[in-house]
Each structure stands twice: as C-alpha cells, then as structure tokens.
Structure 1
Amino acid sequence: MLRKTSQILLAMVVFLLIPEWNTLQPPTQAAENQETVVLQPAALAAKEAAPVSQAFTKGLPKGYSMHDFLVYVLADVEAFWSPLMVKDGYAKPDAGYSFPAAGKPVLTECILDTPDEPALAFYCSTDDRIVMTLQMATQLKEGTYKTNAEPPSKYKPGDFSVAFVLAHEYAHNLQTERGWLPENGDEAPKATSRSLELNADCMTGVWVHSVNARRLLDATDIQEVKRTLADIGQDPSVTDPTHGTPKERTKAFLLGYDSGKAASCEPYLTTRY
C-alpha cells in the first residue's frame, strides 16, 4: 500500500490460522465477462512511451486507455485468486475498484473527497475497495514515482510496473477475506503493517508466477517490477518502518514468484517485521 495515511488502516488485523495452500495453477482466460470502461488514452509526460508488455496485453483492444489496462489487470488477478480462495473455504473475493482521473474524487470509506495527493494507490478494507489514480498509474509506468533516497535502479519501468502495484493492492483484499485485515478500526492489531506489506509483495509474486506459466511475460516484465520495488521501497534510514526496504520487498516478491505457492508467503504474516 503506497498511501502514507493508510498505514493505520493496515496496522489493524485479526489473527487467523491459515491452512497451507496448494501449488497454484494458471487460470483460464482472466478477462472474460469483465466490464470494460473505455476512456481516452492517458498521455505520458515522458517524450518516449514506456515499453508495453505485448504478451500480457494481447487481450486488450487496440488503442486501449490506462483505465482499460487497470480493469484488465484487476480481472486477471481476480480470476487467478478466486478459485483458490473458494477451494480453501473462503468466500469468492469481490473487491470494488476506483481508478479516478486527475481532480476527481476518490469514493471510498477511507477517502470521500478529492485527495490532497493526486498520485495514490491503496486498498480500503472498510468498504473492500481498491483505488489507483490514473496519475499514479502513469507515474509508475514512467518511473517518476519514488519514495526513497536509494540510487536509481538500472532497470526501466513500464506497464508491468503498474500491474505489480495493482496486484499488490489486491493482495490486501485477500488478507481481508482471510481475516488478517479487519473491516473496522475497533479490532486490535495482530500483525504489523510491514508484515502485511511484505506478504502482499510475496503474494503478488505468486500471481506473476502464474502469468509466466501462461507464457504471457515479456523479457523485461520482471525487470520492470524490480525497478518499481527499488523506487517504492521504504528508505532504509526510517527508524519505525511500515513498509519493507527495496531489498526486502524485492526478496519477498521473488520468493512468491520463484515458488508459485501462496504458502511460501505465510511466514511474513506469522513473523513480526
């Protein structure tokens, strides 16, 4: 979760014993029967457009917008996780979403007006809604969003940078469905924000593993994720970290990506970080 003011929300969790998940299998076509809202393509501020994952986006129409891309990614992530959640006895995830343009209000229980920060990506467990502003998506794609003073990464950003962050926020939805995040702020915290963030990074890696299993990853997609993790990881100098450092977040992501198993991410929840 990238929004600083949402840290308190993520600190409130409910302890729940979690059964070990089976090896994950790639889903069928992820974006079927999903409603697509067609808007004007989002312009990039950079002189040259960032690279596009041709394999992963082959199901999108020609000339698709950033909003279209976000809806497409969310549909793919949900199609992957839903059957696994149902198999393990949980309700089918059904998170809402909001991808507002610049100057538009963010309609969630966490924010009910136009945000002070135009570049936002977060999950609100109160009303089970994922939010990413189009400005945030554009900045992630360009590589102009950075939250630490670490040296710049050698890798270039791209559209899979956006996909990673959106899938990360969806992982917070999974944490809510499984009882780790409460639906209100009255419950005592049982895991730290940092633990939840690293678990979400790892779970995102599991989803990316499935994308690779479907042969939809381009050669630069993992590099784009590494670039983004280098940019959005918390500065190592922070004394009371709520997110992982670039190295910690990259390690968590690669653990999920290499294993392809949600169970490999469980220690992040049960160990205090």
Structure 2
Amino acid sequence: MGQVTGESAFDRLATEARDPAAADLDLRSTPELVRLMNDQDAGVAAAVARAAEPIARAIDAIVGRLERGGRLVYAGAGTSGRLALVDAAECESTFDIPPGRVVAAIAGGPAAAASAQEAAEDDREAGAAALSDLRVGPGDAVVALSASGRTPFTLGALGHARDVGALTVAVVSVEGSELGALGEHEIAVLVGPEVIAGSTRLKAGTAQKLVLNMISTIAMVRLGKTFGNLMVDVVATNEKLRARVRRIVAAATGAPSERVEAALDDADGDAKVAIVSLAADVDAATARARLDAVGGNVRKALAG
C-alpha cells in the first residue's frame, strides 16, 4: 500500500491507531474473536489502575464541592455522553441524590441518548452553552469525558467550566491532549488501539465507565451515603428495592425480620432511620434527629 498523505493530528492519535494484532479481524472465527476481544478488555482494568492516584485526587476535590452544596456535572459527546447520562441517572435511585445534583450535558441534547447525534460533537460553542444553561458556577465540579481529548463540544464545556471557576476534571485516553490541559485534574487512562480502529466505544468506553463508577460511588461513600458496603440511601420505588431495604436494615443491625419491618414502618421506609433506631435502641424521631445533626451519616449518628 502507498503512503497515506495529508495526515492530520487526529490521525496520529492513539485512539485512532490500528492494532496489528487485529489486522485480520474479518478472517477469524467467532470463538477467536470472542477470545481476542476478551483479552483486550482484560487490560482495561490495569490501565485504570495505573491512573489510580489522579482518580483519587479528583474524587477528593469533587467531594469538597459536593459537601458545600455544589453539583457534579458531566459533559461528553457520543458514547462518553451516554455513559455520563447513565451514571448521573443512577445516582438518584442508588444514593437518593436529589434531581439536578448529579447531571450530564451531552452533545445533541436528550435526543442523543437514544440515537447517535455525532455531528453535534463538533460544536464547541454548544458545549459552553450547555454548561451555561445549567448555570455551572464556582461551587460545582465538572467532569468532561473524551477518549481523544479533542472533542469540540467537550472542550467548550470544560473551557466554560474553567472560566466560571468550577472544579474541572478531564477524563481522556491519550497523553498531552487539549482537554487534559484544560482540566485542573487530568485522568488519562491509556488503553491503546481498539480492536476496530477508532471505535472508542470499546476499550476507551469501558475505561470511562469504570472511572465514572469510581467517581460517583466513592464520592457518595465519602458523603456518608453508605454504611459499610450497604447502600443505605437506596430509594425503594418497587418491590425488589423494598426487599433490598429490608435486607440492608437486617444486615446492618442483626435484628429479626419482625423488628426490621416494625422499624421501617415507624421510619416511613427510611433505611437510615430504621438502622439508627434499631442499633441505638431509640425511637424513629430520635433516630431522624441524630441523622439530621450529622448530615445523614449513619456511622456518625451511631457514634453520637
């Protein structure tokens, strides 16, 4: 093959590179392809582990904003944006976060959640406008995700966040990116070329999902949204979750099922109130007052 001319900076990105190990992809059997993809995916967790320190520093900074009443705002396009939307939505049910406390701005708006709006990612001004519409300010933390580190929508979003004094975090899959330079905290998870060249919904997307899991989950742990490894702030909106709440209260207190049921009834279904009530042997009103005094932290309420 002749040499490719007119190569751009984008063409030289690691996220666009071709993996020689997968050059004959279409000639392999299905079992071989399954093993190949699984082998490649196995390296993603190791790449995230290498970024553990910057991830931890970013989380501690995010928690600082959240403790003072700020928001966690994600920004991304394509796969990055859709992953961010999922993480933001699940924080509400898992940790009883009020609507609007963890939000995501995605290129193309809500329609991009169901179908790709890839052209929207090239609009840098739209990224800035999306965060302006959310009234992002110095009390907020903004996490921008882009595998290439150069998506215009995401650059516009993080640039606006920096301009207004918000905490800025960049999650990328390359070194030396423009997005990384914009972020006060850069999380570079270097997963290497994709099995299909340029398809960053694969390893890069998996890495982003792992990082998002860490950011939201660990931030909520730091905020007292768990007791041990029990998600005591879960919102019981269906029978499966109501059964989970009963198991959580029983596991946290060791109380028999009849006492758990009675405590939850008195607590209007609030797992935290029921746990403190049972563990401290106080009524629901006292348990609730204790929790209110320590920002809803079960461990602190029991220590007080």
Asked if Structure 1 and Structure 2 have the same fold, meaning a TM-score greater than 0.5 normalized by the shorter chain, the answer is: no
**Greater fraction strand:** 2
Please tell me the TM-score bracket, short chain as reference. Answer: under 0.3
> What's the TM-score, normalizing by structure 2?
0.23
Structure with higher helix content: 2
